[in-house]
Amino acid sequence: MAGSSDLAASREETPFEHAIRLEHVEKFFGPIQALRDITLSIGKNEIVGLIGDNGAGKSTLIKVMTGVLAPSSGRIFVRDKEIDLADYSVRMAHDLSIETVYQDKSLADQQPLWRNFFVGRQITNRFGFIDVKREKEVAAEMLLTSIGFRGVGITVDSTVSQLSGGERQGIAIGRAMHYNADVIVLDEPTVALAVKEVRKVLDFIRRIKASGRACVYIEHNLAHVHEVADRLIVLDRGTVVAEIEPKDMTVADLTEYLIQLQQHTA
């Protein structure tokens, strides 16, 4: 975790309380109501785990937060300022420093790491050409500082296909941190990963916190999310049914609670 405090220190501070706030958000897909009366906040330096059964509305909620889907009604605030929903889009969310890391879809497999860092954001020289030397230098710095890969045999010239699943998540998270995201949104970052790889991803999530940012992440594995999250938001049939601080509930009690919810639904 060396370097995390310098990360926090080097980051520009703009005063705000909540990275994202939703008020009375609803989302319909035709007659299906996927989200009902969602009011929640993501603190500026908080790790929030989104949990709930299949179909509870977790992915829909994240898509609304990140501009992928427009809510049917409700209000969205980013850094305490209300967003005009007519304008909200993935691009705007991005411009507002909300970065989403999608499992596997975020990186190009056959490309070296340094190229992956600069997709869509090339550094060009004064002739308008891509400045490869500079990009490699910045990528090497990112590997060391944001991501914390030290002496593990991974360089900026390694291809993504050489990396383990956990390391790939790390690269995608590190890239988001480098671009000064205030909020990093992860949809099931540990799914299909081996135990050792899961540990790495959980460490990357801790780095997000240590660098002063917020993270919202969907996780099915309750033990993992209980371990790293500051707060858990439980969704059930499109609505928030509980907000839990892991210190107030054991993993066993949390599991029991979710089972009860499902039985209630059945």
Q: Cβ of residue 194: shortest distance to ligand ATP, in angstroms?
A: 21
Q: Strand pairing of 98-102 and 47-51?
A: unpaired
Is 34 among the residues that bind ligand ATP (CB under 6 A)?
Answer: yes
How many angstroms separate the CA atoms of 156 and 212, rounded?
26
The answer to whether residues 142 and 170 touch, using CB atoms and an 8 Å cutoff, is no
Is 72 among the residues that bind ligand ATP (CB under 6 A)?
Answer: no
Is 212 among the residues that bind ligand ATP (CB under 6 A)?
Answer: no
> In sequence order, what are the beta bridge partners of 107?
none
Is 159 among the residues that bind ligand ATP (CB under 6 A)?
Answer: no
Question: Residue 206 burial (CB < 10 Å; 0-12/13-18/19+)?
Answer: middle
Record the tokens describing residue 73, joined without a space: 């009604």
Binding residues for Mg ion, rule: CB under 5 A, are 59
Of the residues 38, 40, 46, 52, which one makes contact with ligand ATP according to CB under 6 A: 52
Q: Looking at beta carbons only, is 28 or 179 nearer to ligand ATP?
A: 28
How many angstroms separate the CA atoms of 214 and 153, rounded?
30
Q: Looking at beta carbons only, is 57 or 174 nearer to ligand ATP?
A: 57
Of the residues 5, 24, 29, 162, which one makes contact with ligand ATP according to CB under 6 A: 29
Is 60 among the residues that bind ligand ATP (CB under 6 A)?
Answer: yes
How many angstroms separate the CA atoms of 109 and 105, rounded?
10
Is 1 among the residues that bind ligand ATP (CB under 6 A)?
Answer: no
Q: What is the CA radius of gyration of the chain?
A: 19
Is 54 among the residues that bind ligand ATP (CB under 6 A)?
Answer: yes
Query: Out of Mg ion, ligand ATP, none, which partner does residue 66 contact, by CB within 5 to 8 A per kind?
Result: none
Q: Which spans of this chain sit near ligand ATP (rule: CB under 6 A)?
A: 29, 32, 34, 52, 54-60
